[in-house]
Structure 1
């Protein structure tokens, strides 16, 4: 499992099943594990009528009454990071893993994260940690996840589900009547055209997750949509001078001003190369013909060729399982780095056909979960606790929003004429 290089586990952060003697002594101090949307818990407790019972306590009614105030999002719909909301759920433990996900709407990001969490959908009365698309939200063309929603498992795996990229519903909510964006993408300045701001939000989200996660799941629908490949290539291009959450440049509290890009670059060079999370490319909703082994080999060849010169492909990925037939084994040279991780998830409807010869939807999800949790992702440059990881994540977000590299890219888009002014 990916870690941050630290071996000094805090005793009060071990799960109840830990065999450490110290953990049994301090286990009562561990914070409550974040299981489901706090909005639902809050609503059930406080949104009652005068008689103490609500007129309508269905989950849909509860969610509609408190959705504007009940979220415990790490990144809000106003594009601001709220570390104070999530901090009470973290500890001084240094042995933890951060897994993020990014992708367009409706590809199953939240379903995958629920699987990695270990949620059992057959358990009656249990809400999933991450909301999944319902018939109502699908009919109304809405998205379930806003900003970044975090959850933690008892094994101290921090899961970050993010709002969809390339999402018409996100664009519709942020566009003003004059075509400008209601969301401030950069630290200051005039509002941008909504379509441009929407594209830059996807890039900023990718840069942030690549900076603060050990593993980032890049999810696409089918094998013919390479929009996520292009997005991650852009993220790799623009992710400059962004350190990892353990960087010394973020750990000194004496100054709230992180300095210029040059100052930050100099500080990053003191601790080595720029950090980049390990990507796992997941293709979902595949038809049976897309699951053929020879077809998967061709997609993997294209994937590794596409990112051949990127930062994603420069890092060695240890412990690549030879049993995982979903990972390409084709490399042209012994000096090439390990192939990028890729997984292929069939459509749920495939299970309805008795003649299907490939893995089922649920079996593929189980394999994805097992493989991701057994991965050895990159370590942060220094040992950092969960709490310090979160505090420094807030500082990294400020660097992302004030990045001169992304700002220059924005000006290039403005001058290209692709977006209306």
Structure 2
């Protein structure tokens, strides 16, 4: 294991798996909390197989059901419940921290991007990444790596939130009953058609991230898929009465469950305008024909036009004056502050191109841009630990939002949800 911010060394992992963890616990008794960079389920599964247990081809979901839940750091579990106790020991009372979240469909490179922002060096032997990335086996089984929200924190106190894919067939397959209803309660305890619950999960996830993050990366594959643009426009439409984690409206937990949308709106008047994380739109797996500079400028203009009437646009203008002038993938339009932050990452396998930047160089520049951004500030100073506790309360507001439930009823009655 590694310290919260440092890179791990798993070179002795196999030799330790069958031994008791007690000596290690005693040895590190007075040191800072430790955190696995590898996904806990995968490491623990290796432990079980090491002792001579049958090494069958069990899928990760069946392994997950046999492992103790204490091993998971997920903030948001596969049952769609928010857990603060698992990650809380790794947070402090520090108030100078940044929260970066990511959202996007399966296989677009979300976890890879988050590993890059963390500073993980994939070339170092014996190192496992902070966030598990899609393997050949995962793709072959049509599975997804990330469940709910998986957090990590760096030594620079950057909290990274990797999320399960949206619009994912594998997520839908895991939550659908034979009769077509959903096994996951996403809204008021009511049983919904799985397809509707699945779509609502994507919206709720987007609303939560835009409420509790400073920066949100919105990742799409290619330049012709605008599903994520539509999702974030819907998130903007429905993110009403949802405060940021420092809001005074969360200061009275005893009355929290009975707080109405109107009361929250009234209390938010004291804080100011509704909070919205700064978005960075990332398009991955691009080919040479998609990377022509004039084409990318047109893409950025289309993106800016699409979100011109949203809260994201208002947030962009508020942040423009305090942003540092840093390099991006397209220096020719950096001087135009009216355009949204967007990045275009070439395909990892597009190695023949000498005309445009490489995959690894583009990822590094994205990391540089994200870490040098000046995202919006929460309305008040809040510590890491209080941010986490209040984020759990915000999740309850999201799940019980009357605005989102009205939208859900409209989708249900019209049948206009994804099938």
Range of TM-score over shorter length = 0.7 to 0.9
> CA 1:139/1:162 → structure 2, altered by over 3 Å: closer, same or farther?
same
* Deviation of 1:42 (Å): 3.9
Higher relative contact order (CA 8 A, sep 6+): 1
Instruction: Measure the CA separation in 2 of the matches of 1:91 and 1:393.
Output: 15
Instruction: Measure the CA separation in 1 of the matches of 2:348 and 2:199.
Output: 30
Asked whether the equivalents of residues 214 and 378 of structure 1 are also in contact (C-alpha less than 8 Å), the reply is yes
Q: Any idea what SS the aligned residue of 2:257 has? A: coil
Instruction: Measure the CA separation in 2 of the matches of 1:128 and 1:63.
Output: 18
Instruction: Measure the CA separation in 1 of the matches of 2:59 and 2:154.
Output: 25
> CA 1:181/1:63 → structure 2, altered by over 3 Å: closer, same or farther?
closer
* Deviation of 1:64 (Å): 7.0
Q: Any idea what SS the aligned residue of 1:397 has? A: helix
Match of 1:246 in 2: 246
> CA 1:96/1:234 → structure 2, altered by over 3 Å: closer, same or farther?
same
Asked whether the equivalents of residues 279 and 312 of structure 1 are also in contact (C-alpha less than 8 Å), the reply is yes
Match of 2:20 in 1: none
Q: Does residue 1:386 correspond to 2:388, yes or no?
A: no
Q: Does residue 1:288 correspond to 2:288, yes or no?
A: yes
* Deviation of 1:41 (Å): 4.4
Q: Does residue 1:413 correspond to 2:411, yes or no?
A: yes
Match of 1:78 in 2: 79
Match of 1:347 in 2: 347
How many residues are treated as equivalent by the alignment?
387
What is the TM-score normalised by the length of structure 1? Answer: 0.86
Asked whether the equivalents of residues 131 and 145 of structure 1 are also in contact (C-alpha less than 8 Å), the reply is yes
Q: Deviations over 1:79-125 (max 9, x none)?
A: 11111111111111111110000000100000000111111111112
Q: Any idea what SS the aligned residue of 1:387 has? A: helix
Q: Any idea what SS the aligned residue of 1:255 has? A: helix
> Where do 1:198-347 residues align within 5 Å?
198-315=198-315, 316-317=318-319, 318-321=322-325, 323-326=327-330, 329=333, 338-347=338-347
Q: Does residue 1:101 correspond to 2:102, yes or no?
A: yes
Asked whether the equivalents of residues 283 and 344 of structure 1 are also in contact (C-alpha less than 8 Å), the reply is yes
> Where do 1:112-261 residues align within 5 Å?
112-188=113-189, 190-261=190-261
Structure 2's unaligned 5+ residue stretches are 7-29
> CA 1:327/1:410 → structure 2, altered by over 3 Å: closer, same or farther?
farther
* Deviation of 1:328 (Å): 7.8
Instruction: Measure the CA separation in 1 of the matches of 2:286 and 2:380.
Output: 40
What is the TM-score normalised by the length of structure 2? Answer: 0.86
Structure 1's unaligned 5+ residue stretches are 1-12, 17-27
Asked whether the equivalents of residues 279 and 341 of structure 1 are also in contact (C-alpha less than 8 Å), the reply is yes
Q: Give the aligned CA root-mean-square deviation in angstroms.
A: 2.6
Match of 1:89 in 2: 90
Instruction: Measure the CA separation in 2 of the matches of 1:378 and 1:314.
Output: 11
* Deviation of 1:239 (Å): 0.1
Q: Any idea what SS the aligned residue of 1:349 has? A: coil
